[in-house]
Amino acid sequence: MAKPPDFNPLFQAEFTATLARLNAELEAAEKSVEPLLRRTPRHSWLSLAAHPDLSNAGALDRLAKLVTEYLNRDTTYALSLAELAVAVAEEMPDNSYPKAVMAQLRAHALKDLGKVLRTIARHEDAIDALLRAELLLEVHHGLYQDVVLIRLHLAFTYQEVDRYTEAFALIRECKQVFADYGDSRMVLIAGVTEGALLHRLAKYREAREAYMLLMLSAHPDLETEAALRKNIGLCCIELGDFVEAESNLLESARLYSNELGQPIEALRAQTGYGRLLIRMRQIERGIVQLKPIRRAFLRQGMPEEAGICALEIIEGLLTRNKPEDAERLARMVIAEFTRANLNNRAITALGYLTRAIGAKQASAPLVQNVREYILSLRTNPEREFLRRTTVSGSESEQ
Amino acid sequence: MKASNKPSVDTQAYELHFPRLVAVATSEFHIPKEEAMRLVHDLLVSSLFRLNPPGDLASSLDGALRTAAQRLAEARV
């Protein structure tokens, strides 16, 4: 076949050689990386930075996959893997691959390190790693797709240190660029992130709009649809749109339970439905709905989720003017959290709530505040508890 | 690189997209031909090493070229 007029044999040869080399490295890395890690004590991994089995793009790809695999299972192990990947990428001679590719490899290793550091709440270190990654890529005009991926991770991290304005700006930029690149999966991820941030900032109307837009335009898969419906339902509760809340929460629970086989997520959606019933002042129904969910979480060894569920019940009990029952339940949750060695800050906030209930000074907004605070500790375990008080119908933070 | 452990661009894709993108770069973005060829080649090579391959390679490469051309133009100002 005749080559097109713009064909360049040297470029073509370089591309073919790079492709062949990469395929060979990927194949070799599948066999060599993990055995090498197993043979080497973890505290000595950094001494492997220049090891020939690791100094290539295939091994870095393997390490990146291992980081992802271990991120939610063993963060210490994931951190060691990510630190090793950064060391390997930095040790590789600059001429190992074309310049842009070297920048990509180093930046992606730093991005993975940033991801792990964010997961273990070392947010400032995570930001530092991600900014270093961004800097490596910025000089290469063809790597903007990689730049925006790093920026999305920066946005995730900025949220955790309350840098919301920067987070929003980055998310919106990323969403636009992903759309320009026709990357619908990343548009969806950026959109969900934007909705979640609005949700977290209690901008329920805007959050619901963001989620609904994604439902209509982003062709979410079933799992994303279930998550979007749960979030739309939760926003609708706060907006007093109980009819929409009910249909979305029930559909979310059904999808998780019947279509996706994710019983824990189904329980979370059902907890949302319990919250809806409490807010609709169908207190008894709400409590009847929530009690078995709480027991199910406890049976699953998930005391924090059970505690969140208990706080929904406590809100109902306070609304029903049963402070003694509410206080008893709050004390049980403190005991469960203490036994499970959960974050002391959560226990302190629960203690504050329990005392407020005992002093007849607790209200539904205070319970909601404690619940949101405990949830926020998952991503920011050092966050301080800000006690909100209701002053003439408006909330202020102390 | 993608989850299947195979790069998302192959030689066929290179042969298909290289001339098309060079034509867009020169005609639409007024990038000199030699520079356009280098830029498009770099885009295709770097797409080999991307962790999350796009759903649609052609759209992704078009977007990459558009942004690269914009950044190139900004750098020249």
Which pLDDT belongs to residue A393? 34
Residue A151 has pLDDT above 70, yes or no: yes
pLDDT at A119 (0 to 100): 85
The verdict on A43 touching B (C-beta cutoff 8 Å) is no
- Structural contact between residues A309 and A294, judged by C-beta atoms closer than 8 angstroms: yes
B19-25 mean pLDDT: 95
Please give the single-letter amino acid code of residue A103: A
Is the pLDDT at A356 greater than 50? The verdict is: yes
Q: Does the pLDDT value for residue B22 go beyond 50?
A: yes
Q: Which residue of B has its CA nearest to A23?
A: B6
Report how far Cα A292 is from the mean position of its chain's Cα atoms: 27
Task: Please check whether residue A36 is in contact with residue A53, taking contact to mean a CB–CB distance below 8 angstroms.
Answer: yes
The per-residue pLDDT for A4 is: 57
Q: Is 80 exceeded by the pLDDT of residue B5?
A: no
Q: Please give the pLDDT value at position B59.
A: 87
Q: What angle do CA A84, A129, B40 make, to 5 degrees?
A: 90
A56, pLDDT greater than 50: yes
**Of residues A67 and A379, which shows the higher confidence score?**
A67
Of B51, B62, B68, the CB nearest to A142: B68
- Would the CB atoms of A180 and B41 count as touching at under 8 Å? no
- Is residue A394 scored above 60 in pLDDT? no
Contact B37 A6 (CB under 8 A): yes
- How far apart CA A140 and CA A87 sit, in angstroms, is 22
Q: Count Cβ neighbours within 10 Å for each residue of A78-109 and write b for 16 or more, e otherwise.
A: bbbbbbbbbbbbeebeeeebbebbbbbbbbbb
Q: Do A16 and B11 touch (CB under 8 A)?
A: yes
Query: Do the Cβ atoms of A262 and A225 come closer than 8 Å?
Result: no
- % of chain A at pLDDT higher than 90: 78
**What is the rounded distance in angstroms from the CA atom of residue A76 to the CA atom of residue A120?**
9
Which among A183, A211, A218 has a CA at the least distance from the CA of A196? A211
pLDDT at A387: 64
* Contact between A177 and B56 using a beta-carbon 8 Å cutoff: no
Q: What is the mean pLDDT of residues A314-319?
A: 96
pLDDT band at A390 (very low <50, low <70, confident <90, very high): very low
DSSP codes of every residue in A334-397 = HHHHHHTT--HHHHHHHHHHHHHHHTT---HHHHHHHHHHHHHTTT-TTPPP--EEEETTEEEE
Q: Residue A398 pLDDT > 50, yes or no?
A: no
Residue in B22, B41, B48 closest to A22 by CB? B48
What's the pLDDT score for residue A389? Answer: 44
CB neighbours of residue A254 within 10 Å? 15
What percentage of chain A carries pLDDT values higher than 70?
95
Which one, of A311, A238, A336, A233, lies nearest residue A279 by Cα?
Answer: A238
Q: Do B37 and A8 touch (CB under 8 A)?
A: yes
Residues of B in contact with A133 (CB under 8 A): none
Q: Please give the average per-residue pLDDT across A265-277, as a whole number.
A: 96
Q: Give pLDDT, residue A71.
A: 86
What type of residue is A210? A
Residue A198, Cβ density class (10 Å: 0-12 exposed, 13-18 middle, ≥19 buried): buried
Please, what is the Cα angle at A322 between A320 and A327, to 5 degrees?
130
Residue A147 pLDDT greater than 70, yes or no:
yes
Inform me whether the pLDDT recorded for A396 exceeds 80.
Answer: no
Residue A162 has pLDDT above 80, yes or no: yes
Q: How confident is the model at residue A378 (pLDDT cuts 50, 70, 90)?
A: confident
In terms of CA atoms, which chain A residue is nearest residue B9?
Answer: A19
Global pTM reads: 0.81
At position A6, the amino acid (one-letter code) is D
pLDDT of A282 > 80? The answer is yes
ipTM: 0.89
Give the span between the Cα atoms of A243 and A134, in whole angstroms.
45
Q: Smallest CA–CA separation between B49 and chain A, in Å? A: 7
Distance from CA of B30 to the nearest CA of A (A): 16
Residue bearing tokens 């329920």: A204
The pLDDT value given to residue A3: 54
Determine the distance in angstroms separating the CA of A138 from the nearest CA of chain B, rounded to an integer.
10
